[in-house]
Amino acid sequence: MNMFETISEQRLHGGVQGFYRHHSEACGGPMRFAVYQPPQAASGPCPVLYFLAGLTCTEETATIKAGAQRLAAELGLVLVMPDTSPRNTGFEGATGDWEFGEGAGFYLDAIQAPWSSRFHMYSYVARELPELIATRFPVEASRSGICGHSMGGLGALVIALRHPSQYRSVSAFAPIVAPSQVPWGHKALPRYLGEDRTAWAAYDPCELVRRQTFPGTILIDQGESDGFLETQLKPELFDQACAEADQPLLLRRHAGYDHSYWFITSFIDDHLRHHAVALGLS
């Protein structure tokens, strides 16, 4: 099946903000995503930054709330925001729990039924979506970066660490860095992957960075008033793992900021500039 649909496109900061739908082989059904094309994309391919959203979010969340397009337009950076899971799967237990199922795909490839037939967000984001973007939009795929928030920060770190030659830059806001050690992971990983913790380790940044570092500095911003900081996020664990692996890490803590998009909006420009330097835009 080769379905691709433009849902909407609007002019924004001299560029185009669009929302799209296509059939995903990886996820076995329709998937939605958003793309911002800066003004420079009208003249030729531009570097691209993928932004992965967190639990409960869709392709609209960061697109509407993060406020990234203004600086992306100045820099000449394409932004891609995928949905966080397949939708309308019909699986029992797929809806009604914001920490698991639809809206909570955890950017992994599930191997447990029934999730294994649809929940392949790792393959979707790391392989299928970039291939689609490269064929449908004016991007320079060799200059790609990846960023994310919370569960999406987990996805960004995992995908960058497992594909260090595919991305020139990676950053995250309040990421889940040790899903094998926190309640969110203990709830989702066994259902998606089973009880074998070696399968969990493939999607755990603390485990991955000890095996394969990223060729560049990882930027992480964390709010000190984040209600999930002590129980779910534990950035100190990734800080320690990076130190042991000699992985360059810039972990910034910000007093008074919480887990919301007000925090992301406050520091999104720093992240775009971090990626712009690595992607050769500044």
Question: Catalytic site residues?
Answer: 150, 226, 259
- DSSP-assigned letter for residue 232: I
Residue (of 54, 44, 48, 53) closest to 35 by Cα position: 48
> For residue 114, is the peptide bond before it cis, meaning its omega torsion is within 30 degrees of 0?
yes
Per the listing, tokens 């082989």 go with: 25
HEC per residue, 190-216: HHHHCCCHHHHHCCCHHHHHHHCCCCC
224: amino acid identity, one letter: E
Q: Output the DSSP codes for 63-100.
A: HHHS--HHHHHHHT-EEEEE-SS------TTSSS-TTS
Compute the distance between CA of residue 137 and CA of residue 162 in angstroms, rounded to an integer.
25
